[in-house]
Amino acid sequence: MTAVFHPGDRVRVIRTHPPGHRRTPYYIRGKVGEIERVCGAHPNPEELAYGFDGLPAKVLYRVRFRQKEVWESYAGPDSDTVDVDIYEHWLRPA
């Protein structure tokens, strides 16, 4: 499976709130970050949770966000980041 995004690409997490077993936490939805690395394709846990086979597998990324972009009132230095594992179907180019 070919990854759509590559390390260094800016991506935005889609801001959507579907019901169900979702592995993308609310706090990161709608935020912009940078692909840190591509982590291969894995059966989709959002489908596996309901007894489906999770196929086709989805590409997983590690996306790095600046804390100051995630939390308006973040008190630490600019260099602080949070890395979140996010599946491709949650990401759009930013």
Partner 1 sequence: MAADERGHDHDHDHDHDHEHPHDHDRTFQPDIEDAPPGRYELMTYAIRELLVEKGHLTGEEIRKAQEKIDSWEPSQGARIVARAWTDPEFKKRLLEDGNDAMAEYGIEPGGAKMTVVENTDKVQNVIVCTLCSCYPRAVLGLPPDWYRSKNYRSRVVIEPREVLKEFGTEVPDDMAVRVHDSLADLRYLVLPRRPEGTEGWSEEQLARIVTRDTMVGVANPDVDRAGS
Residues near partner 1 (CB under 8 A)? 23-25, 27-28, 39-40, 42, 45, 60, 62, 67, 70-71, 74-77, 79-87
What is the separation of C-alpha 91 from the centre of its chain, rounded to a whole number of angstroms? 6
Alpha carbon distance 25, 38 (integer Å):
19
Minimum Å distance from CB 57 to partner 1? 10
Of 4 and 70, CB closest to partner 1: 70
Minimum Å distance from CB 45 to partner 1? 6
Of 12 and 67, CB closest to partner 1: 67
Which DSSP category does 57 fall into?
A: P
Closest CA to 41 of 4, 92, 94: 4
Contact 91, 13 (CB under 8 A): yes
Minimum Å distance from CB 27 to partner 1? 7
